[in-house]
Amino acid sequence: MFSETVIRRCMNAVLNCSQRRGIANVEAIKTTPIRCANSVHRFLDRYDTFLFDCDGVLWGNDHVTPIDGISSAISMLQKLGKKLIDVTNNSTTSRLALQKKFTKYGFESPMENIFGPGYVSAKYLKEVLKVTGKTYLVCGDPVKWELDQLGMENVGCGSDVDKPTNDIHELLDHSFHDDIEAVLVGFDEHFSFNKIYKAASYVSNPHCHFVATNSLERGMFIGSAIDRSIIYTGAGILYVFGFWNRRLAPVSSSVMADSHVTDNMAAVNLSIMERSIYNTETNRRRLPLTGVMVNSVAIAANREPFVVGKPSRTMFDFVLKAHSDLNLKRTVFVGDNLKADMAFARTVGIDSALVLTGVHKVVDIQHHTDFTPTYVLNSLADIAC
Ligand SMILES: [Mg+2]
């Protein structure tokens, strides 16, 4: 697949780029053993089932930017007879919408292979908590759609019906349902003071279940993109952490520093560089995500929700329920987020692969050594090289 010359040329390209930016431990990189063709073959042979995160893996972390070569990689995995299952923490979309999005991006997935936090939350409320009455939703239409599919009664989706006020008497006159069994908080573009007030009031009743679709995701930049990936990508290299060392011992931060690009100063430099770029970008906007809404209600209620999304193993429990034939030793999770995806894989006891097309980069691993991935790939597309 790749000759040693090509691999060395690729490594040098990364080294030169990193050197120019003053962020890499060059001597350490030179010690890294990379056999791209063998590594890819072993990676593919080792697993029957590939669980994928979506944002930052199948398309950009902004939810819309295509990643070159992904449809070819998915097609190749399907031709090899691999089982592909999508496990996303995105509560802004339903399984139906995701399925349509897959088609738009050039690949297909059956509905039973798609697991989102809205769908799993609805299943959790119905099948685990045995909710039969009303659920108050602080969520958008996609999550409501999932509850509707299961025939679960729900209220609250959309703009709140009462007038915003800080007058205590008017607040006491706001409309409340007296038979709410559960509150579910996810991404809600109609999120408001009134919704916090009502959700917090409902879950102040200890008999009312308090569930969140996901909570790790708190905000992200939208607008013109900053290509962090240029620092470590462009060479088509597969970094392999786990084929051998995971079986022997956890990968320590010192091992990471010695073998894979980074050291503490590199992280500091990268952080400073990114901040300076963000500060000069006037057209970038900070988008609040689900964690903001979940935490707002939790703080007001003085109560923590049960969180369904990654890294909780609840998502995986429902994957296993639908796919009871999974062999965990031959299953790998491919994601872009150490705290969500790699932590999820660690929680459920399967191998993991970090792709560098989303949230986290190689330099971030040393700060999250508990979630060190088994493998690191520049992009999922690299497996089709
Ligand atoms: Mg992601």
The reply to whether 316 and 249 lie within a common domain is yes
Q: How far is the CA of 179 from the centre of ligand 1 (A)?
A: 36
Q: Sign of the C-alpha dihedral, residues 127, 128, 130, 136?
A: negative
Q: Which residue from 128, 83, 53, 120 is spatially nearest to 328, judged by alpha carbons? A: 83
Q: How far is the CA of 3 from the centre of ligand 1 (A)?
A: 32
Q: What is the pLDDT of residue 363?
A: 87
Q: How far is the CA of 274 from the centre of ligand 1 (A)?
A: 20
Could you identify the residue written with the tokens 């007038």?
A: 163
Surface-to-core class of residue 315, CB atoms within 10 Å of its CB (0-12 exposed, 13-18 middle, 19+ buried): buried
- The whole-angstrom separation of Cα 183 and Cα 87 is 23
Q: How far is the CA of 109 from the centre of ligand 1 (A)?
A: 18
The reply to whether 179 and 250 lie within a common domain is no
The reply to whether 241 and 335 lie within a common domain is yes
Q: What is the pLDDT of residue 284?
A: 79
The reply to whether 130 and 232 lie within a common domain is no
Report CA-CA distances (Å) from 51 to 66, 261, 281, 352. 19, 27, 35, 9
Tens digit of pLDDT at every position of the chain (385 positions) = 444 444 444 444 443 443 333 333 322 322 222 246 678 888 999 999 999 999 999 999 888 889 999 999 999 999 999 999 999 999 999 999 999 999 999 999 999 999 999 999 999 999 999 999 999 999 999 999 999 999 999 999 999 999 999 999 999 999 999 999 999 999 999 999 999 999 999 999 999 999 999 999 999 888 765 444 333 333 344 444 444 333 322 232 322 222 222 333 333 333 333 444 444 455 778 999 999 999 999 999 999 999 999 999 999 999 999 999 999 999 999 999 999 999 999 999 999 999 999 999 888 888 888 889 999 998 999 888 6
**Residues facing residue 136 across a β-bridge:** 155, 183
The reply to whether 378 and 278 lie within a common domain is yes
Which element (helix H / strand E) includes 285?
strand 285-288
Q: How far is the CA of 338 from the centre of ligand 1 (A)?
A: 9
Q: How far is the CA of 160 from the centre of ligand 1 (A)?
A: 30
Q: How far is the CA of 174 from the centre of ligand 1 (A)?
A: 38
Q: How far is the CA of 53 from the centre of ligand 1 (A)?
A: 5
Q: How far is the CA of 336 from the centre of ligand 1 (A)?
A: 5
Last residue of a domain, one of 274, 307, 340: 307
Q: How far is the CA of 19 from the centre of ligand 1 (A)?
A: 28
The reply to whether 99 and 125 lie within a common domain is no
Give the structural domain span for 197.
118-218+285-307
Q: Which residue from 375, 376, 377, 374 is spatially nearest to 250, judged by alpha carbons? A: 374
Q: What is the pLDDT of residue 247?
A: 32
The reply to whether 158 and 14 lie within a common domain is no
Q: What is the CATH number of the domain that holds 91?
A: 3.40.50.1000
* pLDDT tens, residue by residue, 18-42: 333 333 332 232 222 224 667 888 8
The reply to whether 105 and 128 lie within a common domain is no
Q: How far is the CA of 215 from the centre of ligand 1 (A)?
A: 13
Q: How far is the CA of 217 from the centre of ligand 1 (A)?
A: 10
The reply to whether 279 and 322 lie within a common domain is yes
Q: Structurally, how many domains does the chain consist of?
A: 2
The reply to whether 110 and 144 lie within a common domain is no
- The whole-angstrom separation of Cα 34 and Cα 83 is 27
The reply to whether 178 and 207 lie within a common domain is yes
- The whole-angstrom separation of Cα 24 and Cα 232 is 10
- The whole-angstrom separation of Cα 18 and Cα 245 is 26
The reply to whether 89 and 211 lie within a common domain is no
